[in-house]
Amino acid sequence: MKANAGIGARIRECSRGYCFIVNRLYCFIAGRLSWRTYYRKLARQWKIGARDGVVGAQFSIALRLYLHKAIQSSYLCILIVALTALRANAQHLDTQLTAGFQAPHFDSGLLGWYGPSPAVAAPARGGGTPFGRFRPVFAIALPGKLPPDHPNSGDKITDTLIFKGQLITWANINPAGELPAWLGGRYLPQLNYNLSLPENRLVDVEASANLFGNIGFHPFDTAATGGDIRPYRLWARFSAPQFEFRLGLQKINFGSASLLRPLMWFDQIDPRDPIQFTDGVWGALGRYYFLNNANIWLWGLYGNDNPKGWEFAGTSRRQPEFGGRIQYPIPHGEAGFSFHRRQADTRGLNGSVPAFEAAPENRFGLDLRLDLVVGCWVEASWVNNRRPLKEFTNQELINVGVDYTFGVGNGLYAIFEQLLVSSGEEAFSFSNTTSLSLLSLSYPIGLFDNLGAIVYIDWANGKVYNFINWTIQFDRTALYVMGYWNPKDNRIPTQNSTQNLYSGLGLQVLVLLNH
């Protein structure tokens, strides 16, 4: 019994030192082999609650459920920890492998969660992972407390300063376009400072810039250039195990839909963009996480005059916006309710709607997601303006979708969504409607290659949008070869930088480099 107890203690001690190695092996196996279904579910949980990389205590229940199921399918990770613990020198192993490794949150138990630590999280890999700009890191930890002198014990104040960046270059050929050839580039330098405080508290700052430029030309005839330098993210955050507050230029998004999102209130991500690029908003965001996986969001925005998301008009100058959201776990899923209020400026719309300097606008959002045999969700948004804006007085968006991984080859992941857009003077009159269907397919060819396709159908205008993407992705670099065949008058909401690039028939090659 004493020998077994000694082995168990040694495994617990060395497992902390080996967490980084197990993290990488676990992610590699879970993402590439037989655990793809659980990996997708975990990606959806991450996307719903922490798209911007924030880790909260409310994830522990869902993470333990999904990861425990995956571990039941293979004991490889536990076996690695056990065998290496028996062979290694426990007195020196922890120091050698955990030097510089900082974990902002640690939940002891069968499965511990380490968030996107600055010493581990790599720069964005641009759509090659469902987690967006951040990659999750998993660790296996057996029950036990960290020694008081351990660097991650939570009793010491430590800080880290990380500089990283992402360089993106692309070439676009569109023979039928006004300018058939485009060349462009974008660089996103990013600086992160993290100050770990006692009792699992963290103060961190992120500053990044958006430097971009492009040139479009018709050979031997016409050329046009563009570019700009502006802040991309600039925020400071204080976080505790069940609370966080973030202030500055940041990304705020939520909801259960995957691609055609009625709750796209503060971002404008094009599903076809492999980088998933979107500008941020200036404001403050606070979130509180309950132990039962429920959470409350409160936000206030200021200085965001240009239209965001589905907005047809900008926001009145010097007028604040505010809102909130509550998410609550239900059997087999999660439900959420959101609210937002702002003053819309409808001037300068060429008389298409009555001009008001400040038109009060209320938004209500409802979303529901269930993980059954297939993943299914409903997401809806109602925008009501208190001024008579003709057909824009009331706007309704309703999305219904499903996703499933078919057991074909390496696993064919499919998403289908149906979006209904309606507007009118009376709420829910559905007098002026547009219906849009979307089918997205993704198939991993090998360890580094992935083939994807997206098809939009605009039923009201009788138009079809086609997009195919071949991805070759390595640790720090990625190559995207994309082909598209779309109507020339592209009516799908996108970022302004990609609005015209995906119109007509063309080919785009994009190269991404992280450092």
For residue 300 the two structure tokens come to 């206030």
CATH of domain 229-514: 2.40.160.10
Nearest to 267 by CA among 256, 257, 254, 258: 254
Report pLDDT for 405: 96
Domain spans in the chain, listed from the N-terminal domain onward = 1-143, 229-514
From first CA to last CA, the distance across the chain in angstroms is 50
pLDDT digits (tens, 9 = 90+) for 204-251: 999 999 999 999 998 888 899 999 999 999 999 999 999 999 999 999
Using the Cα atoms of residue 423, residue 428, residue 432 and residue 436 in order, give the sign of their dihedral. Answer: positive
Report the 3 state secondary structure along 9-55.
Answer: HHHHHHHHHCHHHHHHHHHHHHHHCCCHHHHHHHHHHHHHHCCCCCC
What six digits make up the tokens of 320? Answer: 């604040």
**Exposure on the CB side of residue 137, measured as CA atoms within 13 A:** 26
φ, ψ for residue 248, nearest 5 deg: 130, -160
Q: How many CB atoms lie within 10 A of CB 54?
A: 21
**Residue segments in the chain with a per-residue pLDDT below the cut of 70:** 1-155, 491-501
Q: What is the pLDDT of residue 238?
A: 98
The DSSP symbol for 170 reads E
Distance between CA atoms of 512 and 473, rounded to whole angstroms?
9
Which residues lie across from 483 on neighbouring strands?
A: 468, 507
Report residue 182 CA to chain centroid gap: 28
pLDDT digit string (tens) for 166-175?
999 999 999 8
3-state secondary structure of 68: helix
* 102-114 per-position pLDDT tens digit: 433 333 333 333 3
What single string gives the DSSP state of each residue in 76-124? HHHHHHHHHHHHS-HHHHHHHHSTT---S----SSEEEE---TTTPPPP
Neighbour-count burial of 5, counting CB atoms closer than 10 A to its CB (0-12 exposed, 13-18 middle, 19+ buried) = exposed
Q: What is the DSSP letter of 392?
A: G
